[in-house]
Structure 1
Amino acid sequence: MSVFNLLWAFKTFDTAAIMQKMLAASDYWQPESVDQYELSIEPNGGALSVSHLRFSNTPQSHNESVHVSQCGHFLCVANARIDNRHELLDELRLDIGDKRDMFRASDYPDGAIILAAYQKWGEDCAAKLLGDFVFAVWDRNKNSIYIARDHLGIKTAFYSVTDDAVLVSNEHNALLESGLVSRELNDDFVLDLFLPKSNSGYYSPVKAIQRVPPAHYVVITPHSVRSECYWQLQVKQYPSLNSDEDYLRELRVRFEKAVKRRLLSAYPIGCELSEGLDSTAITGLTARMLPHQTIYTYSYDSQQLTDDNRHIYQDTYKDIFEFLALYPNLSAEWTTQQQPENYNDLIEQYYGVVAPHPGQKCTRYYLVKDRGVRTLLSGWGGDHCVTSYGAFYEDELFRKGRWLSLYQQYQYTKKRGRRVKPLFNFLKLGVKYGYPPLFRTIERRRNLMVQLLHFSATESPLNPELVTRQRLKEAVDFVDNYTSSGVRERDYRELFHVGIESRVSGSEIHARAFNFEYRYPMFDKELIEFAYSVPTHMKCKFGIERWMFREIIKDLVTERIRMRMKHDVVLPKHQRLDVKMRLEKLIAEVKDNAKLPVLQHYLRFERLDHLLQLPFVANIKALDTLNSLAKAQQEGRLDFCSKLTESSPNKKR
């Protein structure tokens, strides 16, 4: 686990003083070591200041630092876990040279491997790497900075380019604390909170701060910024696999490899554990691969079951307890404490402005730190592709004219316990592909998710002066394309259009405050590529959604967990609180803060109550975030330069 800062000044600055401000932004997580490197760049009087802050969790991470090539023309800082490190060590032997003798192969720092990869392959180096990584390379020969981010965006990097300098860091607040970056609020960030959008990644709330997109590298020179995509998910062919059984064996091999890659740690390992397929399979496999090591598990809010909360958690925990009994080396971690009330305020302070949310309550984070766990495995995101539901397989059969197979699929699904009306469903597909406009109209009224998304797009409380016709069209088009036309189209949408980036970015940022690292076996690049390419009928065979994954985990989980349907999952009762009640409370809070300039600028307060017509949890998150931004501006942590026009609906005449 690392944080790095890079300051490239084009003119004379007190770079040492600025770097100290950037370093101070990381004091909250108390790094184990801080390495710095300074370089003067002639003849313009510029300078390069680089720092690397370390908190180790793998053997090789103890040796991470600012890496400089022997020739002195290249420099690299990284936050990385490289999975194909041994293959790269062999292939890059000549470039590493005598320096390789300084470490054993297992201890060789990933940042040094990345530097050698850049020296050999230049801008193509990111495509050669596997794992979770973000790094920056200073190239003296090209007078440039090269920044690259892993395939799914597990690691995060931000940068800012001003007239006088380039700043790069994976600590967002370091850029703000430098004093060189404008704190002006980004209008597009606010619009994306309320309006659905395809390809929505996580952006900084600050206009001057950019992020490197997943599977991209960015090259920055004094005169240009260029971003390139180095990987895209595509269907691959596997000629040696000739049957469903062949694909199942290969899927199990790749799943085991994805988990094993993420078990590299010099400290205790933990697993997030719900009673879902993904987390239980990962936890079971981890326990089996490390039979002599205690594996700590963290479930939901990690609340100890007592007489006072038994009505909330008992049904949820039943399946978890039965699963835990399968493995003697699993240790469930429970607490009677709740998440501190000031938790979100602390994270906002560390991040500089409101940070992306990790997707769950963070009571478990305190338990993780107390146990000394520095690696936490998560099954989140598996159903985006690897354990795909096989949704829209019926669409594929319909389009191919395979009517008998379609009828059999409906019968299988009905036997599975789902409410299926074959004739009605067949007619629905006929409308979908024969009369698309009519189908979209029907979906906006009948499909709950499409209904919610369309309502958000058309009934947004945003000031209409800020919503361009193009941006509104993007929102409506996203809604209309939500009902995909095939299994792979749905999986691709879930991975890249709906967006996992905000969740994984939030998880990394929150975890850093507690000195541990999230790892996601289900976002292993090679596992995703294989699962995406598996014949689509295997994802919903015999009407059983997620069939192929259920087949390969028979020996890892209880049979009840393996074969349950999504609606059978028993969530803690307090997680089913009325969304409308929460939304009403938040709307009242926003109205109480109505005089804040940010809220005045972005919202039409008379339309806030419209959101209650169709309560949507996304609107809760949007209003909560905007409220936090308004308070940050009031406290001087954000600049707000926009002004209301005379025609603004909130402007008093």
Structure 2
Amino acid sequence: MCGIVGLFDTHGKREIDRELLGRMNQIQIHRGPDEGELYTEAGVGFGHRRLSIMDVSSGQQPLFNEDGSVVVVFNGEIYNFQELAGELAALGHTFRTHCDTEVIVHAWEEWGENCVDRFRGMFAFGLWDRNREVLFLARDRLGIKPLYYSLLTDGILIFASELKALLAHPDFRRDLDPLAIEDYFAYGYVPEPRTIFSQGLKLSPGHTLTLHHGHRMPQPRQYWDVPFTPHGCTNAQEAQEELIVRLRESVNIHLMTEVPLGAFLSGGVDSSAVVAMMSNLTQEPVNTCSISFGDPAFNESQYAQKVADRYHARHSVEQVDQDDFGLVDKLASLYDEPFADSSAMPTYRVCELARKRVTVALSGDGGDENLAGYRRYRWHLYEERMRSILPLGLRKPLFGMLGGLYPKADWAPKVLRAKSTFEALARDSAEGYFHGVSLMKDGMRQRLFSDSFKRSLQGYQAVEVLRMHATKCPVEDPLSRVQYLDMKTYLVGDILTKVDRASMAHALEVRVPLLDHKLVEWISGLPVSLKLRGHEGKYIFKKSLEPYLPNDILYRDKMGFSVPLASWFRGPLRQKLTDALMGPVLADTGIFNKAFLKEMLDQHQSGRRDYSASLWSLLMFESFLRNVLQAEQPRSRRNDLKVA
């Protein structure tokens, strides 16, 4: 696993500032502490930080083809590289190494932009072809590996694995994007392709970008999407057998490495399934790790131990201090933009623990999106059935009025929260799902933002992110549609981002076999009744795993990877939260309604309301402003915040 960076002159062939390129590369040293190299020629510069995983003795980057006309910097793993290398060698290509990176330059020579269709793995790379005068950027299908880029005002395009490398360029503007701020306080992260900065972009999953000297900036091209194409496997027993075969094959290809390897084991279904498959594929006991919490409401370490015992794993457990909130500022610097998933803290700690024993770890991420494991999917289908009874033109005024009249009851079980149900029924499908997943609802964001900031949004609302993806969804089925929306937003923007930054902060490579694109394609084609049956999400997955895992692992309630924010904010973090929300950093932005900030703070700390998730998003935004934005500016300009 690595960090990549590049500069490209879209106007011509100006000389590249090698010293600047080196600084941008060095700032990502945590992603690749083993080696760092640069390459420059007229109009192009590449940098690479290497974490040696495959072909440790060679495979240094930037890496070239035979005559040096094609050069690549690559972050990730191509799991089918040996098969591709054999095919390319038969076509006349000469290989000098035994690493997957070299496959990319020869695949480009042979298949051009379509080379990405042949790659099976996780990847982000930049490639320069001198003969064709083409810069080619690509990101894997699910967005496991990140790729950021920006076109500067002087025509220089910069790209990197992390935003902090772009921030190291003096011409990258730090103006905040108001639409991204609206998105952040709705979702808890900034969804692709935006970043928090107006001048920065993420290359979306399953997309490439091709640039030529002297040509205008093109739009990224999508080369893959989740198909949801039925494949005829409708018999439950046959589907169970096939799923295990495909899962085992995916886990097997993810075991490819020359360095110590292990797995995260939370005690949930997905990580336990991965460990079970690994144990059947390796001669040695699997290295597993998990963290425990003192509070039993957040602790599932006993389930992880049960799986570890069953498969005789070499299991490591460390207890995380329940008051492990010293990471707040560190996380802001780690993610480079506001990121409000508080499970980033235990994720950081489990990566820290894993790195003590292994360099590569397999995780179970992706199972909930793939196989309909989230409880919110059940509620969405229930609401969709209710919505189907009346057309939107009748539902909206009727249930909108009832929702406005009915008292709020956050304290009650969800089934008894009639106000929320009425409000959901007054919305269309995309709005309804957005209402269910949003961190702060529309009304809260309206009260949160100042009048001047709301004017800067020009009517934009964060639900447009889901609407945009919904228009591209290849199926009409309501369950498949929300799975699709989560794969395009929450999976990549939250889950995969969280794991990538937390793991790479410790120079740990994390692989996700449940997101192998061939497995994802096959699962997407299963009947929805095999994914969600009654109240049981991941139905076919759990049934197929019954021979491998005990029922109290498969069928217990999902616990998650949570931290006790509500009690923190009423106890040890009380003063820190007050200082952040009422202090000058947020006030100077002009973004927020200070009266509502105080109302939220007072009501939460008095115990009248639980605003913990919203308050955490504000705390992380304030920390981002202090630790990222202001840290990147000269001291004389640190109060000169701009919202574009």
| TM-score, with structure 2 as normaliser | 0.80
SS for the counterpart of 2:460 is helix
Q: Which residue of 1 aligns with 2:406?
A: none
Q: What is the rounded CA distance, in whole Å, between the counterparts of 1:366 and 1:577 in structure 2?
A: 25
| Cα distance, 1:451 vs structure 2 | 6.7
| Cα 1:180/1:274, change in 2 over 3 Å | same
Pairing of 1:478-493 with structure 2 (within 5 A): 486-493=478-485
Cα distance in 1 for partners of 2:643, 2:151 equals 28
CA gap 1:141/1:636 in 2 versus in 1, 3 angstroms: closer
SS of residue matched to 1:602: coil
Residue type of the partner of 1:15?
A: D
1:328 paired residue among 301, 312, 315: 312
User: Which residue of structure 2 aligns with residue 77 of structure 1?
Assistant: 73
Quick check: 2:180–2:190 contact (8 Å CA) kept in 1? no
Please give the per-residue CA displacement for 1:547-585, whole angstroms capped at 9, x wherever unaligned: 20111111221121122243xx4988x637458748976
Q: CA offsets, 1:398-431, max 9 Å, x none?
A: 99xxxxxxxxxxxxxxxxxxxxxxxxxx878635
Query: How far 1:521 sits from its partner (Å)?
Result: 1.8
Tell me how far 1:326 sits from its aligned partner: 0.6
Q: Which of the residues 121, 124, 139 maps onto 1:134?
A: 124
The correspondence of residues 84-103 of structure 1 with structure 2, limited to 5 A, is 84-94=80-90, 97=93, 99-100=94-95, 102-103=96-97
User: What corresponds to 1:39 in structure 2?
Assistant: 41
Task: Work out the percentage of aligned pairs sharing the same amino acid.
Answer: 19
Output the CA distance in 2 between the equivalents of 1:643 and 1:191: 15
In 2, are the aligned partners of 1:183 and 1:206 still within 8 Å (CA)?
A: yes
Given candidates 26, 43, 55, the residue that maps to 1:24 is 26
Indicate which of 613, 617, 620 corresponds to 1:622: 617
Q: Which amino acid aligns with 1:51?
A: G
Give the 5 Å matches for 1:451-600: 453=438, 456-460=441-445, 461-467=448-454, 468-472=457-461, 474=463, 486-541=478-533, 544-566=536-558, 569=559, 575=564, 577-578=566-567, 581=570, 588-593=578-583, 595-596=584-585, 599-600=588-589
Which one of the candidate residues 603, 609, 630 is aligned to 2:592? 603
Asked whether the 8 Å contact 1:76–1:137 carries over to 2, the reply is yes
Equivalent pair of 1:78/1:135 in contact (CA under 8 Å): yes
> Structure 2 vs 1, CA of residues 315 and 23 (structure 1 numbering), >3 Å: closer, same or farther?
closer
Q: Deviations over 1:423-454 (max 9, x none)?
A: xxx87863588954245765882349847849
Which residue of structure 2 aligns with residue 6 of structure 1?
6
1:158 aligns with 2:144: no
Q: SS of the counterpart of 1:364?
A: helix
Alignment of 1:305-454 (within 5 A): 309=294, 312=296, 316-335=300-319, 343-346=327-330, 348-349=332-333, 359-361=344-346, 362-371=348-357, 373-386=358-371, 388=373, 430-431=389-390, 435-437=394-396, 438=398, 445-447=419-421, 450=435, 453=438
Q: Distance in 1 between matches of 2:173 and 2:440?
A: 35
2:203 paired residue number: 212
Q: Residue deviations 1:429-488, cap 9 Å, x none?
A: 635889542457658823498478496212211123333353137469869x9xx96221
Counterparts of 1:333 and 1:392, CA distance in 2? 32
Q: Does 1:275 align with 2:267?
A: yes
Aligned CA distance change for structure 1 residues 242 and 561 (closer, same or farther; 3 Å): closer
Shift of the alpha carbon at 1:136?
A: 0.7
| Amino acid corresponding to residue 451 of structure 2 in structure 1 | P
SS in 1 for 2:250: helix
Preserved CA contact (<8 Å) 2:6 2:159: yes
- Among 230, 233, 237, the alignment partner of 1:245 is 237
CA gap 1:246/1:16 in 2 versus in 1, 3 angstroms: same
Deviations 1:242-289 (Å, cap 9, x if unpaired)?
622222222111111222222222222232222321111112222222
CA RMSD in angstroms, aligned pairs only = 3.9
Structure 1 residues 90-239: aligned runs within 5 Å: 90-94=86-90, 97=93, 99-100=94-95, 102-103=96-97, 108-162=98-152, 163-196=154-187, 200-201=191-192, 203-221=194-212, 222-226=214-218, 227-239=220-232
Q: CA, structure 1 residues 626+245, in 2 after alignment: closer, same or farther (shift >3 Å)?
A: same
Query: How far is 1:82 from its partner?
Result: 0.9
Change (3 A) 1:397 1:181: closer
**Larger radius of gyration, structure 1 or 2?**
1
Cα distance change on mapping 1:544 and 1:160 into 2, 3 Å: closer
CA distance in 2 between partners of 1:149 and 1:18 (Å): 25
Which residue is 1:404 aligned to?
none
Structure 1, unaligned runs of 5 or more: 41-46, 304-308, 400-425, 646-653
Displacement after TM superposition at 1:52 (Å) = 2.1
Q: Secondary structure at the match of 1:334?
A: strand
CA drift at 1:18: 1.5
Count matched residues: 590
Q: Give the conservation status (yes or no) of the 8 Å contact 2:240–2:543.
A: yes
Tell me the equivalent position of 1:403.
none
Aligned residue type for 1:2? C
- Secondary structure of the structure 2 residue equivalent to 1:607: helix
Change (3 A) 1:30 1:52: closer
Q: For residue 255 of structure 1, what is the aligned residue in structure 2? A: 247
Report what 1:648 is aligned to.
none
